[in-house]
Amino acid sequence: MSNVRVEQCPICGNSEFRPKMVVEDYSVSHESFAITQCTACSLLLTNPRPDEASLGRYYESPAYISHSDTHQGLINQVYKVARKFTVRQKVALLAREAPRRGRVLDYGCGTGYFLHAAKEAGWQVAGFEPNDAARRLAEQNTGQPIAHGELSQFAPASFDVITLWHVLEHILDLNATLQQLVTLLKPDGILVIAVPNAESPDAQYYREQWAAYDVPRHLYHFTSKTVDRLLGKHHLQLRRTLPMKLDAFYISLLSEQYRAERDGGILAALRSGYKSNRQAGQNGGQYSSLIFVAERAAPLPTPPAAS
């Protein structure tokens, strides 16, 4: 394995980082990885991180349910129950936010459950998934091919909605990928991004054992401020921010397992998830995971011609 160091912040271009914490990869390798923070914009990064050639092996585990769809273990069963509710909520969000029930691209579609539900609701769907095993499952679930490779295979301005459900934090080249995705949006289209929130009460409570750090698969650890700044860099403006309240319970359940080094802590996780949501509701909406709905920024008004 070869590690690479990030020398420049992808959001603000700053080259100075301060140490933040060291986190264990609890789910696959049990190696430890440093998280550093940009001294200018406060973006948190896994830094150094495995190079592109090495990163794939950290996804090669039956426990990684986003790719394997495994039934094994209590936590994976809880995840599947929660997924039924969250998929319905995601499709309902599209109906509320999108200008029309047209075409949606799910970038990093995993095993395709969201795309299947959107297709059932009348959307024209397309998926993009680089992982071979997950892509095969997505094709079974949607009954259609799922793309991989280059985004240039899609026509510019061809999607009403592009979604990234817990995907942005995995992307090696944030700026190049976002730039490409924006070109695929129709002028009145929307970009929907869901990420864990490193400022949430459960993140503060569990610290290095907060499961949503998920190093080294999560390369970035976002907050509301850093997402907003990244969107602005790509000429997108935030329309609204929405909570993913079930994530507090699922992440707490994983975090309790990491803390106790056993499969348990269900009551403690329920208490922690409830407390996190309550505190977030009382203090600015800093929920465990957040959904950002963005649209193209309005063009600057044309200055009046000189008389």
Measured CA to CA in angstroms, residue 4 lies from 21, 46, 112, 174 at distances of: 18, 10, 31, 16
Residue pLDDT, tens place only, 132-186: 999 999 999 999 999 999 999 999 999 999 999 999 999 999 999 999 999 999 9
Q: What is the model's pLDDT at position 64?
A: 56
Residues 65 and 44 sit within 8 Å (Cβ to Cβ): no
For a pLDDT cut of 90, what percent of the chain falls above it? 80
Question: How distant is the alpha carbon of residue 130 from its chain centre?
Answer: 15
**How much is the pLDDT for 247?**
95
CB-count exposure of residue 266 (10 Å: 0-12, 13-18, 19+) = middle
pLDDT at 307: 40
pLDDT band at residue 73 using 50, 70 and 90 as cut-offs: low
Looking at 32-36, 76-80, 252-256, which range is the least confident one? 76-80
Q: What is the mean pLDDT of residues 253-275?
A: 83
Listing DSSP states for the chain in one string gives --EE---S-TTT----EEEEEEEE-TTTT--EEEEEEETTT--EEE-SEE-HHHHGGGG--TT-HHHH----SHHHHHHHHHHHHHHHHHHHHHHHHSSSS-EEEEET-TTSHHHHHHHHTT-EEEEE---HHHHHHHHHHHTS--B-S-GGGSPTT-EEEEEEES-GGG-SSHHHHHHHHHHHEEEEEEEEEEEE-TTSHHHHHHGGG-GGG-TTT--EE--HHHHHHHHHHTTEEEEEEEE-THHHHHHHHHHHHHHHTSS--HHHHHHHHHHHHHHHHHTTT--SEEEEEEEEPPPPPPPPPP-
Q: What is the mean pLDDT of the chain?
A: 91
What the chain holds in terms of domains, given with CATH numbers, is 69-208+222-296 (3.40.50.150)
Could you read off the pLDDT of 173-186 as tens digits, one per residue? Answer: 999 999 999 999 99
The answer to whether the pTM exceeds 0.85 is yes
Per-residue pLDDT tens over the stretch 7-41: 999 999 999 999 999 999 998 999 999 999 999 99
Ranges 24-28, 81-85, 133-137, 255-259: which has the least confidence: 81-85
pLDDT of residue 134: 92
